[in-house]
Amino acid sequence: MSTVAAGRAPAPAVPSGARVVGALVRAEARRMLRNPVPWLCLAVSAWGMWLVVPEPGEWPGSSYEAMNPVAVPLLLGISVAVAVPFHRARHEVAPAAPVAETRRTLARLLAALPLLALTAAFAGLVAWRERDIGGLWIGMEPGRTTEALHSTAELSQLVVLGLVAVALGAALGRRVSRLVALVPALFVLWFVVSVYWLFGHPAVTPYSVMQVQPLVLEAGPATADPLAFPADWLLVTAPHYSGGGWGRQWVSQALAWWHDVWLLGLAALLLSAAWPRPGRRVLIAVGVVLAVAGVVGQHWVIP
């Protein structure tokens, strides 16, 4: 006798894993996008970008250096928006829950993809703004340019930093016990990142979070004839060098690409703090390999 004939209802269909994760992604993405913090921070970053304009008498390259750090408020907003759902994940779920912890974590991370799209859009806005004002100034006479534009490699850092912001928000949201402490902690961390000149020395910049070019490299003593330097050098006087000699401002796409590799490693290490125990070692191993490769590559590129 069949099951239906015996009066038993057929077992309900169990949703596939992909459908469950997709539903969680949509729900978490709606929550993140409804959070007003990243949108307010985006407005602050856009306003700061609009204020960056080359001015006569500025330190050579200061407007070029200031363009990337204006993204820090946006990155802070992304970290806050991601930290909230990951902090909610600190509450224990019954062991018999139909969705495993790994899938719930994956869904929260995938839900942050629209926030990464914001960083990509902001990078495009920066590129448009630089062309709209006719370029930025680097160097001083006799070596100077007034039409400098950030390269694709440098602009890509903003997108990778968006990934770091997601990973940082996930890690602190998962590990900090009090939600009220998250925002001050994230504010302090991103404020330190924004003080880019702390990491401006060539020996330190590979380990920075936000790498700001150009770097100042020693070119020669104060007694040197600046016309004797290579014509493509962007010269500056560098009083912070012993003797107050000549320096040159140096921009490198290769350095920017290797820095992206370092940031990807940093993001993987941060994600390991938010990821459930299964798979955590893989993230740590990948993060260490990428971070070491990125640092070595940057040291290899810097003259």
Q: Give pLDDT tens digits for 257-282.
A: 999 999 999 999 999 998 888 888 99
3 state SS for 111-171? HCHHHHHHHHHHHHHHHHHHHHCCCEEEEECCEEEEEECCCHHHHHHHHHHHHHHHHHHHH
pLDDT of amino acid 2: 47
Mean pLDDT of 127-153: 84
Q: Is the pLDDT of residue 224 over 60?
A: yes
67: helix, strand or coil: helix
Q: What is the mean pLDDT of the chain?
A: 84
Q: Mean pLDDT lowest for which of 48-62, 118-132, 203-217?
A: 48-62
Q: Mean pLDDT lowest for which of 27-31, 84-88, 100-104?
A: 100-104
Residue 254: pLDDT band by 50, 70, 90 thresholds?
Answer: very high
pLDDT of amino acid 64: 87
Q: Is the pLDDT of residue 186 over 90?
A: yes
Burial class (CB in 10 A: 0-12, 13-18, 19+), 225: exposed
303: helix, strand or coil: coil
Residue 158: pLDDT band by 50, 70, 90 thresholds?
Answer: very high
At 285, the amino acid letter reads: A
pLDDT of amino acid 54: 83
pLDDT of amino acid 17: 58
pLDDT of amino acid 72: 95
Nearest to 277 by CA among 174, 197, 184, 208: 174
Of the chain, the percentage scoring pLDDT greater than 70 comes to 87
pLDDT of amino acid 96: 46
pLDDT of amino acid 12: 45
Q: What is the pLDDT of residues 4-15, one digit of tens each?
A: 444 554 444 445
Mean pLDDT of 146-168: 92
pLDDT of amino acid 117: 94
Residue 243: pLDDT band by 50, 70, 90 thresholds?
Answer: low
pLDDT of amino acid 13: 43
Residue 90: pLDDT band by 50, 70, 90 thresholds?
Answer: low
Place of tokens 């495009």: 124
Start-end of H helices in the chain:
17-34, 36-51, 62-67, 72-88, 101-111, 113-132, 152-175, 182-194, 253-274, 280-301
Look at the alpha carbons of 224, 205, 143, 239 in this order and tell me if their dihedral is positive or negative. Answer: negative
